[in-house]
Structure 1
Amino acid sequence: MIREYCKIFTAEARVNENFGSALEVVPQYLMYRPANSVPYATVEAELQGPFQTYCWADAGGKLNSKAISEVEQKCCTFQHWLHEWTHGNLLPTRLAGVDFKLTNIRVATKSKGYQGLSERGSPQVFDQFLTHHQCNYYCGLLGLRPLKPMDSLQPPTKTKGSRSPLLNRKMSVGSGSPHLPKKGSVSPHSQRRAGTSPKAPRKSQEPEDSNSTKAKAVDGR
């Protein structure tokens, strides 16, 4: 099944001329041996050259990968592509072989029995892959989406905030302002205007004084 996925990956990669050589999973054949104590066995073509491991998971389930050479980067891209293609249900945890020919592949499934495959990794491996994988040049050529943790994909919750302290301060200042008179109270300026002016009687007394002086002058004559 992984070989079929790799064929789809190779077909998409060859559309882009800049991708270069594509990966290939070496086919394995099931052989039946009735006279043997183990009647079934798998055989594959012999690979010529140094055998290397490009991506693997250690005994503790920690993912490790090399991303220096071209084939190593393309193996990391194949991990990213298969994870996105299967909506996060499949993840290659071991990719090894000679040059671009891969063999001895191990795949972790998010749920046991997914597409008939046995589970070879814990669910924590998928969460770890989201932070472990670093997108490279070939991920960009295939248009793969950057991996992000599930928590960051959730929209932030809106919290009901209290009123702004500046708004509260303005409201408190406006309510207790000394410039605004209270209802029912009379302004001291209006009291002065309504009352009689102390200068008014002085003006009214001036004509009386002038008449009295005129009367005294007549008597003196």
Structure 2
Amino acid sequence: MLCIQECKIQNLAREYCKIFSAEARVLENFGPSLEVIPVYLMYRPANTVPYATVETDLTGVFQKYSVLDHTGRIEMRTGSEVEQKCCALQHWIFQWTNGNLLLTRLEGVDTKITNVGISVKSTGHQGLSVEGNPKVFEQFVSQHKCNYFCGLLGLRSLKLMDSLMTPVKPKGSRSPLLQRKMAAGSSSPQTGRKAGSSPRMPRKAEQDGRKTPTKPKTVDTPKMGKMV
């Protein structure tokens, strides 16, 4: 159903944006970060239309930061600071998902984002019932211009990411800042659990250490007598 799909898409974008914002907060000059507001699904069995979505009412001037036109091209505004941060969020998620998911519609009031639309490179990505549209990704790579916030986040130029545009074996998504943060001694919010070793490993190693080595058996080799 359309309502369920809208909730799933926006709440998925919200989870990505949480990680993006966590990484942006440690950057001194990034300023206020973005937030994708949550959307809730409400079931009303007595109503003619039983399902409806509920979200926070945003007060202020409603803006369309990014839209997908009828030709499949992303129209991205880059005049304001919030618009440039939305561009950086698109770039960040594109890189995080190895070029498999892209935010194509971003609207809202100031840094509060809603009405999120996405495109996926292949149908069925992350269980989404969204038809794959690889042409949007090709156009995004060719038209995106990195800005100040892309630089702060250490994002790679999309012009140099040719490997993401060719079919590759799916890999686990990784934060674009992971390598730099690991070198600095801090990690992405989700890397701590992955980096930790299994709690059962020390016990196994201890048991292996208790085993006494077996003494190798010596085998007597027959001596050859002299022939007369």
Structure 2 residue ranges without an equivalent (≥5): 1-11, 166-228
Q: CA deviation at 1:36?
A: 1.2
- For 1:76, the aligned partner's letter is C
TM-score (norm. length: structure 1): 0.66
Indicate if the aligned counterparts of 1:106 and 1:120 stay in contact, CA closer than 8 A. no
Question: Partners in 2 of 1:115 and 1:146 — Cα distance?
Answer: 25
Counterpart of 2:87? 76
Question: Partners in 1 of 2:163 and 2:124 — Cα distance?
Answer: 29
Determine whether 1:127 maps to 2:138: yes
Question: Partners in 2 of 1:129 and 1:153 — Cα distance?
Answer: 12
Among 99, 106, 110, the residue aligned to 2:117: 106
Give the root-mean-square deviation of aligned CA atoms.
1.8
SS at match of 2:19: helix
Indicate if the aligned counterparts of 2:36 and 2:114 stay in contact, CA closer than 8 A. yes
What do the CA deviations read for 1:141-186 (whole angstroms, capped 9, x no partner)?
00000002666999xxxxxxxxxxxxxxxxxxxxxxxxxxxxxxxx
Question: Partners in 2 of 1:116 and 1:54 — Cα distance?
Answer: 27
Question: Partners in 1 of 2:147 and 2:21 — Cα distance?
Answer: 17
Indicate if the aligned counterparts of 1:95 and 1:103 stay in contact, CA closer than 8 A. yes
Determine whether 1:52 maps to 2:63: yes
The 3 A distance-change label for structure 1 pair 76 and 120 is farther
Counterpart of 1:94? 105
The 3 A distance-change label for structure 1 pair 72 and 18 is same
- For 2:21, the aligned partner's letter is T
Counterpart of 1:6? 17
- For 1:51, the aligned partner's letter is F
Q: CA deviation at 1:68?
A: 1.1
TM-score (norm. length: structure 2): 0.64
Question: Relative to total residues, which structure has the larger helix share, 1 or 2?
Answer: 1
How many residues get paired? 154
Indicate if the aligned counterparts of 2:44 and 2:51 stay in contact, CA closer than 8 A. yes
Determine whether 1:37 maps to 2:48: yes
Q: CA deviation at 1:113?
A: 1.5
SS at match of 1:71: helix
User: Which has more radius of gyration?
Assistant: 1
- For 1:24, the aligned partner's letter is E
Among 131, 153, 159, the residue aligned to 1:148: 159
- For 2:103, the aligned partner's letter is P
Question: Partners in 2 of 1:46 and 1:112 — Cα distance?
Answer: 32
Counterpart of 2:35? 24
The 3 A distance-change label for structure 1 pair 97 and 108 is same
The 3 A distance-change label for structure 1 pair 6 and 58 is same
Determine whether 1:63 maps to 2:74: yes
Indicate if the aligned counterparts of 1:127 and 1:149 stay in contact, CA closer than 8 A. no
SS at match of 2:75: strand
The 3 A distance-change label for structure 1 pair 61 and 75 is same
Greater than 6 Å deviation, 4+ residue runs = none
Indicate if the aligned counterparts of 1:94 and 1:104 stay in contact, CA closer than 8 A. yes
- For 1:127, the aligned partner's letter is E
The 3 A distance-change label for structure 1 pair 36 and 19 is same
Q: CA deviation at 1:118?
A: 2.7
SS at match of 2:91: helix
Structure 1 residue ranges without an equivalent (≥5): 155-221
Highest RCO, 1 vs 2 (Cα 8 Å, sep ≥ 6)? 2
Q: CA deviation at 1:122?
A: 2.1
